[in-house]
Amino acid sequence: MSDGRISVFLDRDGTINEELEYIRDPKDLRLMPGSGQAVLRFNRLGLPVIVISNQSGVARGFLTEGDLIPIHKKLLEELGRDGARVDRIYYCPHHPTSGNSPYNIVCECRKPKPGMLRWGAEELGIDLSRSFVVGDSIVDIQAGQAVGATTVLVLTGHGRSSLQQCKQEGIAPDHVGETLREAAEFITQIIREKHGNNG
């Protein structure tokens, strides 16, 4: 859909909020410094903001899909303190080899597969090839590249080790930024130079 909207897809853990192994309680969710301002910048550009997150802790039995509801409510509340908003939150509860039925399956939504990106494109009329994917993991970059999006690797969370992994595997993000706030500056510049108004 070449006439679709431009959007920003953001990984959750290690990108927007601090990386913890399987956040199970809302009180454990803490935003990275500057995340709220970064999301607000996307909002002011008129870009839909979509969170895409692998949550295999559900498959592994560490938490339930119901447990994710208050965690994501906390995420939205924390971003809201800076006046920022998220348009959609998608998550993949599956794992292909570990965990419990019905979640221990090979799915189309677990990054590096681009299923969550395609959901957003369908629901919000997004042109993935003109959009951006930001995350701290190689799978975020791979998912973005699978749909022709512009990819940004942030060096928070697992970002530094992911950068080395990308180099070893010959995978090149379009941009590497220290933080989500720096990624927002890069995306803002691209939008203004290449696309003008989002429309």
Task: Mark whether 87 is an active-site residue.
Answer: no
The total of other beta-carbon atoms located within 10 Å of residue 151's CB is 23
Task: Mark whether 140 is an active-site residue.
Answer: no
- Residues 3, 11, 28, 67: which is the catalytic one? 11
User: Prior bond to 102 cis, omega within 30?
Assistant: yes
In the structure encoding, which two tokens stand for residue 22, read together? Answer: 């399987």
Number of residues assigned to the chain: 199
Cβ neighbours of residue 56 under 8 Å, at least 6 residues apart? 92, 93, 94, 95, 98, 99, 110
Residues annotated as catalytic are 11, 13
